[in-house]
Amino acid sequence: MARISGIDIPKEKKVPYSLCYIHGIGFTTAKEICNIAKIDLDLRVKDLSDNQVASVREAITNMDLRVEGERRTEVSMNIKRKRDIGCYQGLRRTIGLGKKVVV
């Protein structure tokens, strides 16, 4: 099982779909990462070599993506800021009507 950004991605799925399990990476970004890392989009994670997994990690680093902990911190700080300034979205969060962040 490949471990990227602290997450064990599913090994039976195709690479772009597996990369979506990392918080902060969507399908479009996952396809871009595969293109940069020169990985076939139809390849499954279990068929990746160690060099290919390393190139995926390097592609994520080179794209300066905020993923996992850094991304979660950014989102929570944005929510806190909206609550502190008292904007409409912050007020809705305070009374429990905003989006729930599932961790």
Q: Which two tokens stand for residue 85?
A: 């300034």
The pLDDT of residue 5: 86
Point out the residues of the chain with pLDDT beneath 70.
1, 100-103
pTM over 0.75: yes
The pLDDT of residue 101: 58
- Note the pLDDT tens digit of each residue in 16-40: 999 999 999 999 999 999 999 999 9
Cα gap 66→72, rounded to integer Å: 9
Q: Torsion over CA of 23, 32, 15 and 9, rounded to 10 degrees?
A: -20
